Amino acid sequence: MLKISGENKIHMCLIQIKTEICWRIDSYIKLLLNKEDTMKTTLLTVITILWMAGCGTAGHRSGSTEASAMGDAPKWFLKMPESADILYGVGSAKKQNPSLARKTATARARDEIGQAVEVKVTNLMKDFMQESGIGENAQATEFSQSVSKQVTATSLQGSTVKEAYMGKDGTMYILVEYSLDSARQAALAEAKKKEADFHKLEAQKGFDELEEVLRNMD
């Protein structure tokens, strides 16, 4: 997924400001067209030249810049790889310090994986609790959140950088990966630590069934 950086937001804002200025110049030109004074005619000529040089080409430069930025991003950033066994995340950052840019982009990519893992585990636990007749009481919610948060933290630490690319404009692009099997093992390990809490929930399904569900997480 492609994210809009702070630099791109500033660039877009400057374009909007320039567009407003150009509109005002254009209005002033139309006003002067109704005058016959020689000095105003000369001023009209100067303003027209400035308008053609600046505003007339602004759209072209903006489009070229955006096209260049989009074209410079690696393919795996624009469209992440897909796999039944691997989770992927991408991140980007533009900093004056290349090392800081890489660190920031990597952190953002890992956050994507962490969010994906959290959603998977949370939904799986929620479905299991409902099927076990527990529903969403406070104890069940606490148990599910505890497991999902720990698994998410483990995924942030266990994900690895698969691809790194520095764009022509200095933007660092990072692709990280994390195996789904690692997520399963982390979920099983964390649930095992809290087995005693699970039994307090008096679920209609046993803990061994929960383990089986986590083991088959996809």
Chunked in runs of 10, what are the mean pLDDT values of the chain (218 residues)? 46 52 56 51 53 45 38 89 93 94 95 91 85 77 85 88 94 95 89 83 79 83
Q: Which of 72, 104, 121 is the last residue of a domain?
A: 72
Which domain, by its residues, includes 54?
6-72
Output the pLDDT for position 190. Answer: 87
Is 157 found in the same domain as 108?
Answer: yes
Other Cβ atoms closer than 10 A to 143: 22
Is 85 found in the same domain as 10?
Answer: no
Is 173 found in the same domain as 147?
Answer: yes
Output the pLDDT for position 29. Answer: 54
Output the pLDDT for position 11. Answer: 47
Q: Evaluate whether residue 12 is within a structural domain.
A: yes
Output the pLDDT for position 64. Answer: 34
Domain count for the chain: 2
Q: Evaluate whether residue 48 is within a structural domain.
A: yes
Q: Evaluate whether residue 35 is within a structural domain.
A: yes
Is 172 found in the same domain as 145?
Answer: yes
Is 98 found in the same domain as 193?
Answer: yes
Q: Evaluate whether residue 84 is within a structural domain.
A: yes
Output the pLDDT for position 65. Answer: 36
Distance between CA atoms of residues 78 and 75, nearest Å: 5
Is 118 found in the same domain as 171?
Answer: yes
Is 40 found in the same domain as 84?
Answer: no
Q: What is the CA radius of gyration of the chain?
A: 28
Output the pLDDT for position 63. Answer: 36
